[in-house]
Amino acid sequence: MQRYADINNDSGVIGYEISSASITVWFDGTARPYTYSYGVAGQSHVEKMKQLAQSGDGLNAYINYNVKFKYDR
């Protein structure tokens, strides 16, 4: 797991792991990570989430507004 930079100190995201077709996200206070894949969340959303994760800003808000329940089950 890569630690999420959270440059504004306002995110519920604490970490992430990027693979070729998905991103797995760890949230503060949750028991397990959530994986967002091309197949469920869509390629464009996953790629945007990868960019936001690496920049350390905006990932939690993006998830809440765009893919909140589109994680792999």
Q: What is the pTM of this model?
A: 0.96
Q: How many residues belong to the chain?
A: 73
Between CA 3 and CA 66 the distance in angstroms is 22
Joined tokens for residue 33: 């990570």
Residue 70's contacts (CB-CB under 8 Å, 6 or more residues apart) are: 36, 40, 41, 42, 45
Contact between 52 and 44 (Cβ < 8 Å):
no
pLDDT at residue 15, as a whole number: 98
pLDDT at residue 19, as a whole number: 99
Domain boundaries, the chain: 2-67
pLDDT at residue 26, as a whole number: 98
Joined tokens for residue 61: 């808000």
pLDDT at residue 36, as a whole number: 99
pLDDT at residue 68, as a whole number: 96
Which positions of the chain have pLDDT values less than 70? none
